[in-house]
Amino acid sequence: MEKSTKNNNKKSFLKEGFKSDISKHHKEYLGTTVSEGYFAKSKMSILDKIKEEEIKEMPKTTKKQIVFWMKPQFRFMAAASVVFIFALTIWLQKADNNTINENNIEFLAFSDDVLINSLLVEDAEMDLFADATIINEILIKAELSEQKMDDLFLNSLFVEDSLIDNYTDDGFLETIIL
């Protein structure tokens, strides 16, 4: 505290302020010191500590490198692909099942015993079965019946006159009743 004891003028106590040597400045005004060579030792200690910290963090870095390609954007893409493939598989399976069901129902609807077959159809598929039956009974069978009538008239042209009455009677009966 050389400065303060020399200078008894209180107005100039803080006038000089900071000098180039910061440690000296603190010692002069506040009486705080450090041991000799402290800063050199401290520097080495800080550098060592930083090396230690870097070594500690090394495994984390390595771990990160291993999964580098598994960055969030890649992970999301991979997950989305898996979900898409899974969904596609399920959808294809379902589509196949629907086709089989439709074939089955058509098979049941086109057979002769429609009422008995209706017992084999599940409730959920009843509408589909009914549609198939209507198409079968009304459209297809009517069409076939019409074709038969046409055939009947055409064939009647080739039948002898004496036999024509019997032929048409049988033909009409068969076509209209069935």
Partner 1 sequence: MNKDVELVKKLKDVTQKDAAFSELLDVYQERLYWHIRKIVTTHENADDVLQNTFIRIYKSIQNFQEKSTLHTWMYRIAYNESIRFLEKNNKKSYDNIDAISESHLEVLFDDAYFDGDEIHKKLNSIIDGFKIKQKRIFQMKYFDDLSFRQISEILEVPESTLKSSYYSSVKTIEEKIFL
Q: Determine the size of the site formed for partner 1 (CB under 8 A).
A: 31
Length reported for the chain: 178
In angstroms, what is the minimal distance from the CB of 72 to partner 1?
21
Is residue 37 a contact residue for partner 1 (CB under 8 A)?
A: no
Cβ proximity of 134 and 142 under 8 Å: no
Task: Name residue, tokens 């159809």.
Answer: 121
Of 6, 8, 61, 119, the one binding partner 1 by CB under 8 A: 8
Q: Give the rounded distance of the alpha carbon of 104 from its chain centre.
A: 32
* DSSP-derived secondary structure letter, 36: T
Distance CA 35, CA 23 (A): 11
Backbone angles phi, psi at 36, to 5 degrees: -65, 135
- DSSP class of residue 125? G
Region binding partner 1 by CB under 8 A among candidate stretches 30-38, 73-81, 123-131, 140-148: 30-38
> HSE (CB half, 13 Å, CA atoms) of 169?
4
Q: Site map for partner 1, 10-29, x if CB under 8 A?
A: xx-xx--xx---xx-xxx-x
DSSP class of residue 135 equals: I
Least CB distance to partner 1 at residue 54 (A): 9
**Positions 43 through 62 that interact with partner 1 (CB under 8 A):** 43, 45-47, 49-50, 53
Task: Identify which of residues 17 and 72 has a Cβ nearer to partner 1 in the complex.
Answer: 17
Residues binding partner 1 (CB under 8 A): 1, 4-5, 8, 10-11, 13-14, 17-18, 22-23, 25-27, 29-35, 39, 42-43, 45-47, 49-50, 53
